[in-house]
Amino acid sequence: MEKQIRVIEVKRSIFEHNDLDADRLRGELKEKNIFLLNLMSSPGSGKTTTLLALAKALNGRVKLGVMEADIDSAVDAQKMAEAGIRTIQIHTGGMCHLDADMTRQGLYEFGMDGAEVIVLENVGNLVCPAEFDTGAVKNMTILSVPEGDDKPLKYPLMYETCDLLVINKIDVLPYFDFDVKRASDYARQRNPDIDILTVSAKTGEGIDALADWIVAEAKAWMKQG
């Protein structure tokens, strides 16, 4: 007689536990009137450069903080600090993503008093970060022109989970076979409700519109009962 083997769905259990913890974290953020934005993208898309430009556009409008997540090093956090932006570095210990509890640890080390908008720059990766709810209020992804306009087809979950797609490096559009409309259409195939903005973090084009989006979303979050 064949022996019955108990099978445990570990992956499902991990995700379910994290989702509940993420909801609890959003409750904690609501109590403190903090808007947490989870920023995800592949390496080299321009996350840090976009944040530096965004900090200037948000100056005087909201109290901004940035949490930098990396497997190792503090290069990005150093850039933020040199620009006068309140920041903290999170090392993931080799993990390719942050989950809700890791985000909470970072927030409490960062110190949430006095902050209004905190941007979590997640680990550069189009797969793992999209799988884990960090407890953020909104999710944003950056797609840079050199990466190609087909990324929403290749990495669907990233675009399904994000509220905003920022197409970056539009200043180099003449040099790449990248169609903004095609990329936008692909993203909306995955997520009809996704907002899409085009920017150049290098020249500053579109950064004010991105700042307006963040301020509007933060105000809406803080007004919720």
Confidence of residue 71 (pLDDT cuts 50, 70, 90): low
Mean pLDDT of 128-150: 97
Mean pLDDT of 35-55: 96
Q: Looking at 108-112, 118-122, 193-197, which range is the least confident one?
A: 108-112
Cβ atoms of residues 197 and 162 within 8 Å? no
Cβ atoms of residues 120 and 29 within 8 Å? no
* % helix, strand, coil for the chain, step of 5: 45, 20, 35
9: left (phi over 0), alpha (psi -120 to 50) or beta: beta
Nearest to 40 by CA among 140, 112, 164, 119: 140
Confidence of residue 176 (pLDDT cuts 50, 70, 90): very high
Beta-ladder partners of 143: 167
* pLDDT on residue 132: 94
Q: What is the pLDDT of residues 93-116, one digit of tens each?
A: 777 889 999 999 999 999 988 889
* pLDDT on residue 5: 63
Radius of gyration of the chain (CA): 18
* pLDDT on residue 69: 86
Q: Which residues contact 56 (CB under 8 A, 6 or more apart)?
A: 207
205 class by beta-carbon count within 10 Å (0-12 exposed, 13-18 middle, 19+ buried) = middle
**Which tokens go with 42?**
């592949």
Cβ atoms of residues 136 and 107 within 8 Å? no
Phi, psi of 173 (to 5 degrees): -55, -40
Full-model pTM: 0.91
Mean pLDDT of 204-220: 98
Cβ atoms of residues 122 and 67 within 8 Å? no
Confidence of residue 212 (pLDDT cuts 50, 70, 90): very high
Confidence of residue 15 (pLDDT cuts 50, 70, 90): confident
3-state class (DSSP) for residue 12: helix
For 174-204, b where at least 16 C-beta lie within 10 A, e where not — what string?
eeeebeeeebbebbeebbeebeebbbbbeee
Confidence of residue 11 (pLDDT cuts 50, 70, 90): low
**Which tokens go with 160?**
């399904």
Q: Is the pLDDT of residue 85 over 70?
A: yes
